Amino acid sequence: MTLMIDHVKKQFGKHKAVDGVSLTVEKGSMFGMLGANGAGKTTTFRMILGLLDPTEGSVTWEGSPLSYKRTNLIGYLPEERGLYPKLTVEEQLLYLMRLKGMKKKEIIKSMREWLARFSVEEYENKKIEELSKGNQQKIQFIASVLHQPELLILDEPFSGLDPVNTDMLKDAVQDLQAAGTTIVFSSHQMRNVEELCEDLIMLKRGRAVLQGNLRDIKRSYGTKNVVIHSDHDLQFLESIQGVTNLEQTADGVTVQIKKEKVAEDLFYAIAEEGFVRKFEVEEPSLHDIFVDHAGGDTNE
């Protein structure tokens, strides 16, 4: 009852877009896919959807590959948003959902529910080109979930949304997961991934550089930050073994260390100097981990 990606490779000519990725997404879980631009996220999604054939390996959903016979089970929000600009919201959703095998009555009924949820009921008969970008994105999202898919693939669902709409969408995604939908999504915004995902994979040039449970990843990630607030000059800490970086802040310094053991050495060294207002060992943020692995470039 899972999505299984087994040693999948995809090669376009000489270029390896995806190079031996394996992952398992449990039914009903939320899975995050991270990676800089061109890391192979969209290609992986397209292989899950059956739009591209893997060069090697296999992608299966509940034991068999996803073909056009089962597309009704999948919802997809592409990274490049697109709807028919000249059609109204209703015409649009009617066509797209009919392709997913829904009846007109059902479509209209659940379309109204979703439009109400996103407080855009008044746009039912408006053309897409007349809507603002944020509202177009809501319609695009509705188009990917209206048919109650078992597997929902969201490629950068939050990009280009304001904070209010991001929260609205996040709530919707969490509700869908609570209702049993399996969700795979990619994002550049690490905060969203940290909030939503239990498991994740980080891709770089088609390969997985990091994979597993979010908490485990953070815990096993050696590098940590030590935040120190003090009036003393703490520049000398840089010379302690195991310190990789030292950054001056308004209240003191933030020191990046290789492993937790180094924090002890730091503590004793500072204690000799005198009083400190704050000494805290922080878990690394996903952002730091991402930057470290992906080599910068976290934003589009």
Partner 1 sequence: MNNFWITVMHTASKRMQSKAFIWSTVITMLIIIGIINANNIMSAFSNNEQSGESPSTVAVVDNTTNDDTIAEMLASYEEGTFDYQNYTEGNQAEALEAVKDGEFDFVLTLKGETTNLEVEFFGSSTDYTVGQEVKQDVQRIKESVVTNQLDLNEEEIAKIYLPISFSEQPLTENGEVQTEETHMQAYWMVYGLVFVIYLIVISLGSMIATEVATEKSSRVMELIVSSVNPIVQMFGKLVGIGIVGLINLAALVVAGIIGFMISDDNILQSILGEAIDVSLLLYAFVFIMLGYFVYGGMAAMLGALVSRAEEVNQAIQPLIFLAMIAFFISIFGLNTPDSTLVQVLSYIPFFTPQLLFLRIGMGNVPTWEIILVIGILIVSAILINILAARIYKGGVLMYGKFSFKNGIKQAFTMSKKEN
Q: Which residues bind partner 1 (CB under 8 A)?
A: 12-13, 46, 49, 51-56, 68, 71, 74, 76, 78, 80-85, 87, 95-96, 98-100, 143-144
Q: Supply the minimum distance, in Å, between the C-beta of residue 270 and partner 1.
A: 55
Of the two residues 73 and 217, which places its CB atom closer to partner 1 in the complex?
73
Of the two residues 10 and 224, which places its CB atom closer to partner 1 in the complex?
10
Q: Supply the minimum distance, in Å, between the C-beta of residue 19 and partner 1.
A: 15
Of the two residues 12 and 236, which places its CB atom closer to partner 1 in the complex?
12
Q: Supply the minimum distance, in Å, between the C-beta of residue 250 and partner 1.
A: 45
Q: Supply the minimum distance, in Å, between the C-beta of residue 4 and partner 1.
A: 16
Calpha distance 294→267 (Å, rounded): 31
Q: Supply the minimum distance, in Å, between the C-beta of residue 215 and partner 1.
A: 33
Of the two residues 46 and 224, which places its CB atom closer to partner 1 in the complex?
46
Of the two residues 78 and 212, which places its CB atom closer to partner 1 in the complex?
78
